[in-house]
Structure 1
Amino acid sequence: MPRRYAFGRADEATHPDSVKATLSEFLSTFIFVFAGEGSVLALDKMYTDRAFGASGLVVTALAHALSFFAAVASSMNVSGGHVNPAITFAALVGGRVSVLRAVYYWIAQLLGAVVASLLLRLSTDGMRPVGFSVAGGIGELHGLLMEIILTFGLVYTVYATAIDPKRGSMGTIAPLAIAFIVGANVLVGGPFEGASMNPARAFGPALVGWRWRNHWIYWVGPFVGAALSALIYEFGIIQSEAPIHTHHQPLAPEDY
């Protein structure tokens, strides 16, 4: 009977598939963060008082949905299209990736977000990345709860369309479904706490823009929401034996 959890084989660190998957996560996260944070800076450029209103919220949600769709679709057949440390954590909790592969992905995702934020600041002539913070009048615990719920919905969608071995033809629309829930969640949580759902998306702009207010929420919330979703879907819906760790699976890459 296969083991559900694995640390990862010794040769995995330098295996070509690991290198390709890690590079893919770096590039896809770069694409997503550059467009997502870039849309916020573009609105800042157009409206100096930051009074974006409903139209600005829609623009931001659309930019995040479109860029996440492109990022997931372009990396899904190489790395599984995580593009998010919380999704990688969910895969780890569910036994779908090894610890070593998860660490590689996390490093790649964070570096991709940082490089995107640096180049965004350079290409906008020094505009400081905004990142995320809890809106005025909203408590930190409320913001945390919102991040947990939003990330839960995102990871549930990922599991249902990209990871579930019985997903069938749903796998072909996985990037679109995942992008839809990202855009919808931004519309819901954006005015309250930004709706990050992605620690890398929060970390890159926070580091480059040096804005750390409420930053812990954008790590704890996504990781808790992702873990809850993975546990419920993996053990409550899939209810299968431990996944067999193969050399590579396009939609849910697992380790050796």
Structure 2
Amino acid sequence: MPIRNIAFGRPEEAYHPDTLRCALAEFFSTLIFVFAGEGSGMAFNKLTDNGSTTPAGLIAASLAHGFGLFVGVAVSANISGGHVNPAVTFGAFVGGNISFLRLILYWIGQLLGSTVACLLLWFSTGGLTTSAFALSSGVTVWNAFVFEIVMTFGLVYTVYATAINPNKGTVGTIAPLAIGLIVGANVLAGGAFDGASMNPAVSFGPALVSWDWTNHWVYWAGPLIGGGIAGLIFEGIFIGYQTHEPLPTTEFN
């Protein structure tokens, strides 16, 4: 089972140059992603007088987050694995693919990247608010909690299938695209209800800069649970117990 593969990591790993480079790559990737995603919402609000909650605003948010994450994953995939998300890192951890010490450094890089992105947006827009994630009218915290679990499960399951799975084959070349597409699709599905975070770092930066922590726990608990479940399922069922080579693709033609 994946739980047996969970590792704390050796103390020297915390300051090893390779680990620090990976954390730095996560910092820059998350900065790029959050700047694009949060910035698109701020720009749309400015152009439409706070119209980001309209259907057009939802589509704009979907495209910006999908494109931004595609780039964020692609530019760090060969350095840190292109997590760009504490929930993805947690899913990799519970599946035994990353140590606890490396997880902590990844999280620090991701949270700092999001915070710096929001500070840059605040400064470069002349003090416009970096809005924290919030629930729509009629949506309870438990509705949002389930939304975040399910959407993040789909995201981390996609990461495992296209990026982490050692048997991914040529599908690994489209991992950044697939990951960006699932996030864009989930924004369309859940954006009108709770903002569709799926990423504690994406929620943390705006909440910190605007100092608005309303229902913030939902955007940590939901994604971490969803990501953890995806990691356990994919690692335990589709990777951990594989005893034969996958059939060549020609067998299905």
> Alignment length, in residue pairs?
239
Ranges in structure 1 where 5+ consecutive residues have no aligned partner: 242-256
RMSD: 1.2
Scaled by the length of structure 2, the TM-score of the pair is 0.92
Hey, what does 2:5 align to over in structure 1? 4
Whole-Å Cα distance in 2 between the matches of residues 218 and 50 of structure 1?
Answer: 23
Hey, what does 1:19 align to over in structure 2? 20
Hey, what does 1:143 align to over in structure 2? 144
- Give, in angstroms, the shift of residue 52 of structure 1: 4.4
Whole-Å Cα distance in 2 between the matches of residues 182 and 60 of structure 1?
Answer: 10
Whole-Å Cα distance in 2 between the matches of residues 62 and 190 of structure 1?
Answer: 12
Aligned residues of 1:154 and 1:181 also touching (Cα < 8 A): yes
Structure-to-structure mapping, 1:169-180, within 5 angstroms: 169-180=170-181
Aligned residues of 1:43 and 1:52 also touching (Cα < 8 A): no
Hey, what does 1:28 align to over in structure 2? 29
Hey, what does 2:184 align to over in structure 1? 183
- Give, in angstroms, the shift of residue 14 of structure 1: 2.2
Matched, 1:208 2:203: no
Structure-to-structure mapping, 1:45-64, within 5 angstroms: 45-50=46-51, 52-64=53-65
Ranges in structure 2 where 5+ consecutive residues have no aligned partner: 243-253
What amino acid does structure 2 have at the position aligned with 1:150? M
What amino acid does structure 2 have at the position aligned with 1:90? G
Whole-Å Cα distance in 2 between the matches of residues 22 and 149 of structure 1?
Answer: 27
Matched, 1:166 2:197: no
Aligned residues of 2:5 and 2:96 also touching (Cα < 8 A): yes
Matched, 1:102 2:83: no
Matched, 1:231 2:236: no
Scaled by the length of structure 1, the TM-score of the pair is 0.91
What amino acid does structure 2 have at the position aligned with 1:173? I
- Give, in angstroms, the shift of residue 36 of structure 1: 0.5
Whole-Å Cα distance in 1 between the matches of residues 16 and 213 of structure 2?
Answer: 36
- Give, in angstroms, the shift of residue 51 of structure 1: 5.9
Whole-Å Cα distance in 1 between the matches of residues 98 and 161 of structure 2?
Answer: 17
Matched, 1:192 2:193: yes
Q: Write out per-residue CA displacement over residues 213-242 of structure 1, whole angstroms, 9 at most, x where no aligned residue.
A: 21111000000101111111111221248x
Whole-Å Cα distance in 2 between the matches of residues 140 and 22 of structure 1?
Answer: 32
- Give, in angstroms, the shift of residue 9 of structure 1: 1.9
- Give, in angstroms, the shift of residue 5 of structure 1: 2.1
Aligned residues of 2:53 and 2:192 also touching (Cα < 8 A): no
Whole-Å Cα distance in 2 between the matches of residues 184 and 171 of structure 1?
Answer: 20
Whole-Å Cα distance in 2 between the matches of residues 150 and 17 of structure 1?
Answer: 31
Whole-Å Cα distance in 2 between the matches of residues 109 and 69 of structure 1?
Answer: 16
Whole-Å Cα distance in 2 between the matches of residues 39 and 161 of structure 1?
Answer: 27
Aligned residues of 2:44 and 2:52 also touching (Cα < 8 A): no
Whole-Å Cα distance in 1 between the matches of residues 176 and 168 of structure 2?
Answer: 13
Hey, what does 2:122 align to over in structure 1? 121
Whole-Å Cα distance in 1 between the matches of residues 11 and 201 of structure 2?
Answer: 27
- Which has the higher mean CA deviation after the structures are superposed, 10-19 or 176-185? 10-19
Aligned residues of 1:37 and 1:131 also touching (Cα < 8 A): no
Distance change (3 Å), C-alpha of 1:211 and 1:194: same
Distance change (3 Å), C-alpha of 1:55 and 1:6: same
Whole-Å Cα distance in 1 between the matches of residues 109 and 132 of structure 2?
Answer: 19
Whole-Å Cα distance in 1 between the matches of residues 7 and 198 of structure 2?
Answer: 26
What amino acid does structure 2 have at the position aligned with 1:102? L
Whole-Å Cα distance in 2 between the matches of residues 37 and 5 of structure 1?
Answer: 34
Q: Write out per-residue CA displacement over residues 94-140 of structure 1, whole angstroms, 9 at most, x where no aligned residue.
A: 01000100000001100110111111100000001112111011111
What amino acid does structure 2 have at the position aligned with 1:74? V
> For 1:134, what is the secondary structure of its paired residue?
coil
